[in-house]
Amino acid sequence: MPRLIRFFLLVLCTFPGTGIAAPASELDALLGHYRHLHQNPELSLQERNTSAYLAEQLGATGFEVTTGVGGHGLVAALRNGDGPVILFRADMDALPVEEQTGLPYRSTVRAVNTAGEDVPVMHACGHDIHMTVLLGIARQMAADRAGWHGTLLLIAQPAEEIGAGARAMLADGLYERFPVPDYNLAFHVTPELPAGRIAYASGYALANVDSVDITVYGTGGHGAFPQQTRDPIVIAARTVLALQTIVSRELSPLESAVVTVGSIHGGTKHNIIPDAVTLQLTVRSYSDETRDFLLRRIREISQGIARSAGMPEERLPRVTVKDEYTPAVYNDPDLLDRIVPILESMLGVAAVMAVDPVMAGEDFGRYGRTEEKVPGALLWLGAVNAEQYQAARQSGEALPGLHSARFTPDAGPAIGTGVRAMHAVLIELFATKP
């Protein structure tokens, strides 16, 4: 179908004012799912009921549903003849946050975390919006099956917040048991933009995120006799300052990176020099080269400072890079060159904008880092109520961000925009051989 005719068909199918390519009742149905998901959040690795709920809905829509992929992960496939394979991913997990939005459908759920503690649970990162958009896309793409050819894979991923879910789904055969996608797509809501708008970063969009633990050893003793000790608090203090020079003195000023020491603990009392101090760092970068460099220099500097303080080789600091690493999200520029004009046609040029990358993390990047090198794009979906957004801009007051107990997305317009935009993108991408 010629591009222009397809575009007009899409416009004709769109009911004005609803923000969605379907009647208002369709958006009402999606909002019902949204409220259910919002009121029933589950922590990372505990998404059992969420996955079952999505499986039921997607099955009823005509998708072939496979559950239990990489834990509670779900893959829903709609095979619709020859054509491209496109994957759209939503994440399912919520956070240990006590909701303070005052919404009538707020979460009052509590759960036991992996440490055995009873914690409140809230969808404070908007994953409930992502899942609802996924359901909306499923319904739309199943309804206009005659208008496209190919295979649509909708995946609901567990454990995004701990950087484990994408890896688990890939390790459980996502690209072996199901067709390898030609493109991977996803949304993440943003508290920086009003609902109705979509933003994108071309190239690197989100960072490599590493958590690093350092245990600095010393030889403890009486605080009045420092000459008989090797004080790990002083060694740790020197280490913290020296680590700050990796980014400021050793990396090119044009390369972006973060080394933050977020936690430092050592000692019990004024007059006791302890045996050890522990540091917890978050280390962020975009390229693999910069990541490797940062991690290597953190180790070398920590150990070098301990050596200079007289610590023997067997008591040098222990530097551990935690397993929960999330690789950078790289948005394929060629894919974005195709997607952006479609978004602009649907939403208007002013509603679609290029933005800078951010140093936050997302494990969506993993889907593009296998040997298949599937190009992907994660788009920012505006989530703030438009009036609140304007008022906040005028007053300079900050709106609650992601992971805030008061994060309150404007669900209707955000979901409507997400479904409408992604539907248009999918129809267009399905129409051309990759």
Q: Select which of 99, 161, 182, 362 is catalytic.
A: 161
Does residue 397 have an active-site annotation? no
Nearer to Zn ion, 170 or 206 (CB): 206
* Minimum CB–partner distance for residue 177 and Zn ion (Å): 26
> Per residue in 270-304, is it b (16+ CB within 10 Å) or e — as a string?
eeebbbbbbbebbbbbbeeebbebbbebbbebbbe
The reply on whether position 97 binds Zn ion by CB under 5 A is: no
Q: Which stretch binds Zn ion (CB under 5 A): 49-57, 112-120, 125-133, 257-265?
A: 125-133
* Minimum CB–partner distance for residue 186 and Zn ion (Å): 10
The reply on whether position 159 binds Zn ion by CB under 5 A is: no
Does residue 192 have an active-site annotation? no
- Distances from the Cα of 282 to the Cαs of 207, 243, 257, 333, 361, in angstroms? 11, 12, 11, 28, 11
- CB 120, CB 109: distance < 8 Å: yes
The reply on whether position 166 binds Zn ion by CB under 5 A is: no
Q: Select which of 42, 47, 91, 93 is catalytic.
A: 91
Nearest to 76 by CA among 66, 84, 89: 66
Q: Which stretch binds Zn ion (CB under 5 A): 118-126, 162-170, 174-182, 424-432?
A: 118-126
Nearer to Zn ion, 246 or 383 (CB): 383
* Minimum CB–partner distance for residue 87 and Zn ion (Å): 18
Rg of the chain in Å (alpha carbons): 24
* Minimum CB–partner distance for residue 212 and Zn ion (Å): 20
Nearer to Zn ion, 125 or 415 (CB): 125
Q: Which stretch binds Zn ion (CB under 5 A): 48-56, 123-131, 295-303, 367-375?
A: 123-131
- CB 20, CB 27: distance < 8 Å: yes
Residues 6+ apart with CB under 8 A from 331: 200, 201, 202, 203, 204, 205, 376, 377, 378
Q: How far apart are CA 314 and CA 216, in angstroms?
A: 12
Q: How far apart are CA 150 and CA 170, in angstroms?
A: 22
Nearer to Zn ion, 70 or 83 (CB): 70
Please tell me the number of Cα atoms within 13 Å of 57 on its side-chain side.
25
- CB 298, CB 259: distance < 8 Å: yes
The reply on whether position 414 binds Zn ion by CB under 5 A is: no
The reply on whether position 92 binds Zn ion by CB under 5 A is: no
Nearer to Zn ion, 83 or 126 (CB): 126
**Contacting residue, 58, 75, 125, 279, with Zn ion by CB under 5 A:** 125
Q: How far apart are CA 161 and CA 94, in angstroms?
A: 8
- CB 90, CB 106: distance < 8 Å: no
Nearer to Zn ion, 77 or 383 (CB): 383
* Minimum CB–partner distance for residue 324 and Zn ion (Å): 13
Q: Which residues are catalytic?
A: 91, 161
Which residues here bind Zn ion, judged by CB under 5 A?
A: 125
